[in-house]
Amino acid sequence: MTTRDKAGCGHDGPALPLSDALGRVLAAVAPITDSERLPIRQALGRVLASDVSSTINVPAHDNSAMDGFALRSADLPDAAPLELRHIGAALAGRPFDGRVGPGECVRIMTGAPVPEGADTVVMQERVTADNERVQIEALPLRGANVRPAGEDIRAGDVALPAGAQLQPAHIGLLASIGVAEVDVLRRPRVAFFSTGDELCEVGTPTQPGQIYDSNRYTLFGMLQRLGTEIIDLGVIPDRPDELEAGLRRAAEGSDLILTSGGVSVGEADYLVEIFDGIGQIDFWSVAIKPGRPTVFGTLGDALYFGLPGNPVSVMATFYQLARPAILKLGGLQPQAPVLISATSAAAIKTKAGRTEFLRGVLSRDAQGQYVVAKTGHQGSGILSSMTQANCFIVVPENAEIIEAGSQVDVQPFEAFV
């Protein structure tokens, strides 16, 4: 029995529903465990390989939440006013060197350590003060306006857990606990190439019958935004020996291989047959449009996606199947696609039995409600439709017609960043 027979589906047979295909992809992904140590500024966007615990309290001491006067709550009477003796000042970075005793107070600035003996801060707008005496017109609550030591993070706490993807706030938090370097998972290594005798490299003149290879450029952009280590193997012509050599080269040292073109049933579409001989195919047909002839499997230790050759099909299948695999490879938990409900501006006719991804423009109407309209011709070779769109309109597999004014699910492109 061949690998293809085991897969149980082919281009002319039943295609896997998208949810099943994605489930099989994610089940095959083993997250990367190798790590490297980086300065925190270089770690932005990377995934923590281990927990980061704090050795200090943040804040390091009880401090004032506002400008005012620090006093002892024991001195607060049942009713205003209260008069206290002014004995000094506490500034951020220049704490008061002394103790606040009965009947005393200290001028304090926001962020300054609360002096020993004091436990309450009255805001400056509620006092009348001169150099020696302070009269409080409205009494504060006991302990008011004091941020306790360790309110944000306590010494010994896990400040950030393993698996956290470091965003600007995470970098700032690491700095706040004095951490200069962290261990992060290495980036997923993705090797990719395009196939086809008709493809011409950008920057060189085309010959009769040739077109420029755009797929490697859209793949590069999508991979770059995911923070992967990119291995571009160029264009490989439709020659079986060169295609096999390209696949083997791509598998050396990479975690995931992407190819575009050569996976359909054309006379020169050799890639599936070649891969079937050297790798393991899981599936090679998915019930989606565009993108039905999508191959998934493994070659050695590398995952493999054979994407269709049409430009929009490449992007659609990458976003729906390859992107979740790359995220999981990199140590991130797979998330369900972001869906927004919107009103369809026009009727949509489709074919039941597949999930369809139409390019659309999502906007708000005068009442602030989401409305979506198709970008026009939806052919899988119309790459300009992706540049005009800001979302996919997701047509479910059981739909045949969606009436104008009906609600549809929309995937914003912003969610794919």
Q: How confident is the model at residue 206, as a pLDDT? A: 86
Q: Is the pLDDT of residue 374 over 80?
A: yes
Name the residue among 174, 179, 100, 116 with its Cα closest to residue 149: 116
User: How large is the average pLDDT for residues 84-97?
Assistant: 96
Lowest mean pLDDT, pick from 87-91, 155-159, 273-277, 360-364: 273-277
- The one-letter amino acid at 338: V
Contact (CB, 8 A) for 104 and 52: no
The pLDDT tens digits for 206-246 are 889 888 999 999 999 999 999 999 999 999 998 999 999 99
Question: In CATH, what is the architecture of 340-416?
Answer: Beta Barrel (2.40)
Q: How confident is the model at residue 104, as a pLDDT? A: 98
Which of helix, strand or coil describes residue 392? Answer: strand
Read off the pLDDT band of 373 (50, 70, 90).
very high
Residues of the chain with CATH 2.170.190.11: 63-147
Q: How confident is the model at residue 334, as a pLDDT? A: 84
Residues in the chain: 417
CA distance 101 to 71: 9
Name the residue among 269, 234, 227 with its Cα closest to residue 250: 234
Name the residue among 307, 304, 309, 331 with its Cα closest to residue 318: 307
CATH superfamily of domain region 35-58+151-185: Molybdopterin biosynthesis moea protein, domain 2 (3.90.105.10)
Read off the pLDDT band of 269 (50, 70, 90).
low
Scanning the structure block, which residue is given the tokens 């054979």?
306
Q: How confident is the model at residue 13, as a pLDDT? A: 60
Please give the helix or strand (H or E) that residue 181 lies within, else none: strand 181-185
Q: How confident is the model at residue 151, as a pLDDT? A: 96
Q: How far is CA 337 from CA 320, 323, 344, 409, 411, in A?
A: 9, 11, 19, 11, 7
Q: How confident is the model at residue 187, as a pLDDT? A: 98
Read off the pLDDT band of 266 (50, 70, 90).
low
CATH, range 63-147: 2.170.190.11
Kindly report the average pLDDT of the chain as a whole number: 93
Name the residue among 363, 322, 320, 311 with its Cα closest to residue 342: 363
Which of helix, strand or coil describes residue 329? Answer: helix
Q: Is the pLDDT of residue 205 over 50?
A: yes
Q: Is the pLDDT of residue 5 over 70?
A: no
Among 3.40.1010.10, 3.40.640.10, 2.170.150.70, 3.40.980.10, what is the CATH number of 3-34+186-329?
3.40.980.10
Q: How confident is the model at residue 2, as a pLDDT? A: 42
Q: Is the pLDDT of residue 127 over 80?
A: yes
pTM of the model: 0.89
